[in-house]
Amino acid sequence: MVVEPPRLVTVSYQPRDSEMLHVKKMAAGMYLEHYLDSIENLPFELQRNFTLMRDLDTRTEDLKGQIDSLAREYTSNVHTISPEQKLALLRRIQQSYGRCKEFGDDNVQLAMQTYGMVDKHIRRLDTDLARFEADLKEKKIESTDYDSTSSKGNKSELRGPKEKKVARTRLKAKSDDDCSPKSGRKKVKLTQTPEFTAPTVNFGSVHPSDVLDMPVDPNEPTYCLCHQVSYGEMIGCDNTDCSIEWFHFACVGLTTKPRGKWYCPRCTQERKKK
């Protein structure tokens, strides 16, 4: 059973320089500039993590090759070797597998950490953006009545986009603490859209849906029993080994966040069995 080493996707994220300069010239808000500084490191960090993961993967593959050869040795010699030898062989296989598992765990850990990193940036950007938009709104109010009258006119234009607002809000601010699953995961993930959209609603011709209505990524991870992308409120199964992890409230028949530990239907069954 030879498994292809999973391809590693390296994300290189580099904000366009021209834009960045442009934005800097604007000096719209100090916080945004700080943000740019902070995000500068992100690509490198991602790179580092992914290289690490790649390393681990290659090592895992090596081990798998060893295991295969050991297994072959075992099968070919099984009639001749003594039980002790057999035992030793099997033990070696087992040990190799143990190391493989360790690598796997490390990889998962790394992925979680990376996720947390990106997520952290996104959260920060969101709050900054919200502030920025609030500022903009203020500015607009300050500006002359000529502007205000024209913005009045804009309001009617905004009517169209309003429908779009109903569009699915897909961003979720989930698993911010996935990187530290052991230290009490947060149970309920809210999509962060409310905070995010609110300020944008009234702003000029930039529709809030522009951000949220990104083209649906066909590769977007799916969750829940329904195998859909995440939306709305999600709840995480408290079983760390749960294969699904996140569930839509509606799919598991929840309306509010339950108290205490919550296990998904599958894990509940499993636990009952035990």
Partner 1 sequence: MRRLRRRGCSAGEVGLEMGRGRGRGRGRVSSVRPRPPSPYRLQLSPSRETLTYAQAQKMVEVDLDGRLHRINITDPLPVITEDEMMAQDIVECNSNKENSEQTQSRARPGRKPPNPKGRRRESKTSSHLSRRSGGQQHTQSQTDPSQHPSHQSPLPEPTFRVLDSLCPSAAPPLPASYYRFIEKSGEEQDCEAEYDMDEEDLAWLEMVNQKRVSDGHASVSPDTFELLIDRLERESILESRSQALSQSAIDEDAFCCVCLDDECLNSNVILFCDICNLAVHQECYGVPYIPEGQWLCRCCLQSPSRPVDCVLCPNRGGAFKQTSDGRWAHVVCAIWIPEVCFANTVFLEPVEGVNNIPPARWKLTCHLCKQKGWGASIQCHKANCYRAFHVTCAQKAGLFMKIDPVRETGVNGTTFSVKKTAFCENHSPVGLRRDGSGDVEGRLVGGRGNRGQRSYTQSPLALPSKKTPKGQKKKKGQTTRRSAVPVLLVPQIPSHRLNKICTGVAVQRKNQFMQRLHNYWLLKRQSRNGMPLIRRLHSHLQAHKTAEQREPDEKLSAAREELRYWQKLRQDLERARLLVELIRKRERLKREQMKLQQAALELKLTPALILLRSTLDQLQEKDTAQIFSQPVNLAEVPDYLEFISKPMDLSSMRAKLEAHAYCSIADLEGDFNLMVSNCLRYNSKETAFHRAALHLREVGGAVLRHAHRQAQSIGLDPSTGMHLPDFPNMHGFYQCTWEDVDSLLDPDNRLHLSTEEQLKALLEKLDMVASMRSSGGRTKRIRLLRREINTIGHKQQRSQSLNGKEEEVEEEGEEEKGEKGNVENGPLTSASTPGTDDSPPTLEPSCPVSSPLPGDAPPEPPLLGLVTTGRRSPGRSYKRQRSSRSGGNGRSDDDAEVGETPTPCKQEAASQEVSPLETPSPPINACPLVGVGRRTSVLFKKAKNGARLAKNKAAQLQNRRTTEGKTNGLDRTPTIPKPPSVTALSNPAPPPTPSSPSSHHLRSRGSNSDSEADKPLHLVKEDGLTNGLGKHKEDSSDPPSNDQKHSAPLLPKRSRGKPALAKVPERQNGGSGMSILLPFESQTELTPLDLVWAKCRGYPSYPAMVVDPDMPQEGLLHNGIPIPVPPGDVLKLGERRQKATGERHYLVLFFDTKRTWQWLPRDKLLPMGMDDTVDKLRLMEGKKPSVRKSVHTAYDRAMIHLNHVMNHAKGNLSFNPSNFI
Contacts with 52 (C-beta within 8 Å, 6 or more apart), sequence order: 110
Q: Is 224 annotated as a binding residue?
A: yes
CA distance 182 to 240: 8
Distance CA 214, CA 189 (A): 20
Task: Supply the minimum distance, in Å, between the C-beta of residue 258 and partner 1.
Answer: 24
Question: Using the rule CB under 8 A, is 88 a contact of partner 1?
Answer: no
Q: Where are the alpha helices (DSSP H) in 143-221?
A: 145-165, 193-200, 208-212
240 vs 268, which CB is nearer to partner 1?
Answer: 240
CB atoms within 10 A of CB 263: 16
Q: Binders of partner 1 among 191-230, rule CB under 8 A?
A: 203-206, 210-211, 214, 217, 219-221
**136 lines the binding site for partner 1 (CB under 8 A):** yes
Residues 4-33 that bind partner 1 (CB under 8 A): 6, 9, 11, 13, 15, 19, 22-23, 26, 28, 32
Q: Is residue 3 within the footprint of partner 1 (CB under 8 A)?
A: yes
DSSP-derived 3-state class of residue 104: helix
Structure tokens at 143: 């500006």
Strands 246-248 and 188-189: unpaired
Judged by CB under 8 A, which of 52, 122, 190, 201 binds partner 1?
A: 122
Please, what is the minimum distance in Å from the beta carbon of residue 254 to partner 1?
22
Round to whole Å and give the CA distance between 232 and 213. Answer: 14
Say whether residue 141 binds partner 1 (CB under 8 A): no
Span interacting with partner 1, options 3-11, 161-169, 251-259, 261-269, rule CB under 8 A? 3-11
Applying the rule CB under 8 A, the residues between 229 and 248 that interact with partner 1 are: 243
**Cα(162)–Cα(157) distance, rounded to whole angstroms?**
10
Q: Closer CB to partner 1, residue 39 or residue 188?
A: 39
Kindly tell me which of 206 and 226 has the beta carbon lying closer to partner 1: 206
